[in-house]
Structure 1
Amino acid sequence: MSHDEHDHDHEDHDHSGPLVELVTLRDWLRYAVTRFNRAQLFFGHGTDNAWDEAVYLMLHTLALPLDRLEPFMDACIPLDERETLLEIIDRRVESRMPAAYLTGEAWLAGYRFKVDPRVIVPRSYFAALLADGLSPWIDDPETVTRVADVCTGSGCLAIMMAHTFPNAEVDAVDLSADALAVATDNVADYGLEAQVHLHQGDALAPLAGQRYDLILSNPPYVTAEAMAALPAEYLHEPEMALAAGDDGLDVVRSLIAQARAHLNPGGLLMVEVGHNRHLVEAAFPDLPLTWLSDDHAEDMVFLLREDELP
């Protein structure tokens, strides 16, 4: 190849490919969705489809408002920003890492939380229930004075509980010191250090002698069979935040056994178990479980009153 031919070939290379051919945000979103679909990515950490995931990643990477897509769809993107877009798309596809870990944040019911692989990505059916003040199970959120969040992870539900129950002291527990380090940052970000208190330990053990109006938990509840079949995205999360024994009920058993000693008269235990209702009912056939439902989920959370617990 002559020198001229080499230069010409180099020019062609420089003037093709996504960095040159994709100009607008609309172009980049189309490209990202195609890449995500072809790679058969799994979406379950804040979004549930390739389009929403692409929109979130592109807007976050460009430091644009996450709720304002349309005004920017046909904006031309400078080359240096195109490079950052290509990088984030490549990382999502090649690493199979959840978007929240790539951006360092997760959103739940309008709340923003810092996250990284030390902690599970926030997601919970409690988010919508707390937004409604846990009505009708709690008459007046302002009369609640003590609540506990067991298996708090990033601290997301404890922080939401502090906002839902403004007069309540919130005790939040997790077995993982790494998770509590993340939770500490999130509690500080919301200025709730005086209201939310973090404790390290197994289930209710760190709360010996304490009683609450409400104990809430979104514990690990993935069965051994389901753990073996998890998509690659979930393998970036701490295993201890997901796995809960053969039937997924290791922590649930502990909560049910210990909760009554930690509840005030008339107090409530609420536990999220995902799609494991049948396993809970099989394990506790004599308990009068109440299954909560709302517009977002049905039969994912059970409730037991203090006098219904063993």
Structure 2
Amino acid sequence: MTPPFLTVRDLLRYAVSRFNEAKLSFGHGNANAYDEAAYLILHTLHLPLDMLEPFLDARLLETEMTRLLQVIERRVQERAPAAYITQEAWLHGYPFYVDERVIVPRSLIGELLQEKLAPWLNETHPVQTVLDLCTGSGCLAILAAENFPEATVDAVDVSADALAVAQRNVATYDLAARITLYEGDLYAPLPATRRYNLIIANPPYVNEASMHELPAEYQHEPRLALAGGSDGMDIVRQIVAGARRWLAPHGTLIVEIGHERDYAQAAFSKLNLNWLTTSAGDDFVFMLNAADLNSI
């Protein structure tokens, strides 16, 4: 009897069909069924993730085929994000270990860090100290350390489980000497004398109504890292309210709020939020300088 599948191309077609049939949701690194299938196949076969074409007509071993079918079915049956299946997530060219203790990295702040926050940061005041609030997997703290090589970085999360993942990623990038992890509620665990040139935060910001509508894939992620209260701004309000105390005189606060711009504008109507341009648009990340916070 001829096996139903022979090549990588066969399994790719099958996976795309299964994912579309199951009406899976995407957004944890891949935007569609094809990209998701290609990633899972290449990762499972230990092939370069940017090199599908040369292997499309390669014959699969029976053991490889079995393993791939198991991965495809797990994605369909469990509706788990691909990153939890592979325990790997990529953010702006950097791979990170992830599991269900943390949300899958996808922050737009990462791309701003790659540009060293140009042109918004004042070059006359170099970034020497960074605070990453709600650090989760530690991905933004690591990107900050990589892109501001003279800076030390403090990273805070209320979840001990998340910090265990962050610690693993910090060790992978050999940044333990420059990144310090703190367990606690936002600014609470920080040394009283610390001041920061840059505070970044990708906090829980999903409003309660949207939480009830999240696809199954997102429900695998920790609710603690997603839910931001009735308007999504519960944690964001605390971050903004405390920022002036912790910023250096010319420091900058950068906060990601997803699709909640209207709620953010309403919550901070007395502040002049500066919305930064990202690949997703101008509605997702806002900036405040220390001077902007003097009025609260």
Matched, 1:286 2:280: no
Using the alignment, how far apart are the partners of 2:142 and 2:98 within structure 1? 14
| Deviation digits for residues 158-202 of structure 1 (CA, Å, limit 9, x no counterpart) | 000001110111000000000000000000000000000000011
Give the alignment's Cα RMSD to 1 decimal: 1.2
2:167 to 184, 189, 192: 184
Matched, 1:226 2:232: no
> Which structure has the larger Rg over C-alpha atoms?
1
Using the alignment, how far apart are the partners of 1:121 and 1:294 within structure 2? 19
CA shift for structure 1 position 29: 0.4
1:276 to 250, 260, 263: 260
CA shift for structure 1 position 140: 4.1
Contact (CA 8 Å) 2:250, 2:289: kept in 1 or not? yes
| Deviation digits for residues 83-117 of structure 1 (CA, Å, limit 9, x no counterpart) | 00100001000000000000011000000000000
Using the alignment, how far apart are the partners of 2:280 and 2:170 within structure 1? 26
Which SS does the other structure have where 1:133 is aligned?
coil
Structure 1 residues 130 and 252: alpha-carbon distance in aligned structure 2, compared to 1, 3 A threshold: same
Which SS does the other structure have where 1:269 is aligned?
strand
Using the alignment, how far apart are the partners of 2:179 and 2:125 within structure 1? 16
1:151 to 134, 141, 144: 134
Contact (CA 8 Å) 2:199, 2:254: kept in 1 or not? yes
Contact (CA 8 Å) 2:101, 2:222: kept in 1 or not? yes
Which SS does the other structure have where 1:206 is aligned?
coil
Using the alignment, how far apart are the partners of 1:295 and 1:187 within structure 2? 26
Q: Which amino acid aligns with 1:161?
A: A
Structure 1 residues 118 and 211: alpha-carbon distance in aligned structure 2, compared to 1, 3 A threshold: same
Report the counterpart of residue 225 of structure 2 in structure 1: 241
Matched, 1:91 2:74: yes
Report the counterpart of residue 250 of structure 2 in structure 1: 266
Uncovered stretches (5+) of structure 2, i.e. residues with no partner: none
Using the alignment, how far apart are the partners of 2:156 and 2:213 within structure 1? 28
Report the counterpart of residue 237 of structure 2 in structure 1: 253
Which SS does the other structure have where 1:115 is aligned?
coil
TM-score (norm 2): 0.97
Matched, 1:34 2:17: yes
Uncovered stretches (5+) of structure 1, i.e. residues with no partner: 1-14
Using the alignment, how far apart are the partners of 2:191 and 2:243 within structure 1? 11
Q: Which amino acid aligns with 1:66?
A: L
User: What does 1:1-310 correspond to in 2, within 5 Å?
Assistant: 15=1, 20-140=3-123, 143-209=126-192, 210-309=194-293, 310=296
Number of residue equivalences: 293
CA shift for structure 1 position 204: 1.4
Which SS does the other structure have where 2:149 is aligned?
coil
Contact (CA 8 Å) 1:133, 1:141: kept in 2 or not? no
| Deviation digits for residues 266-300 of structure 1 (CA, Å, limit 9, x no counterpart) | 10011000111110111111101100013343210
Using the alignment, how far apart are the partners of 2:104 and 2:260 within structure 1? 20
Q: Which amino acid aligns with 1:43?
A: F
Using the alignment, how far apart are the partners of 1:68 and 1:61 within structure 2? 14
Q: Which amino acid aligns with 2:34?
A: W
Using the alignment, how far apart are the partners of 1:67 and 1:140 within structure 2? 35
Structure 1 residues 65 and 229: alpha-carbon distance in aligned structure 2, compared to 1, 3 A threshold: same
Identity of aligned residues (%): 56
Using the alignment, how far apart are the partners of 2:279 and 2:167 within structure 1? 31
Which SS does the other structure have where 2:176 is aligned?
coil
Structure 1 residues 141 and 149: alpha-carbon distance in aligned structure 2, compared to 1, 3 A threshold: farther
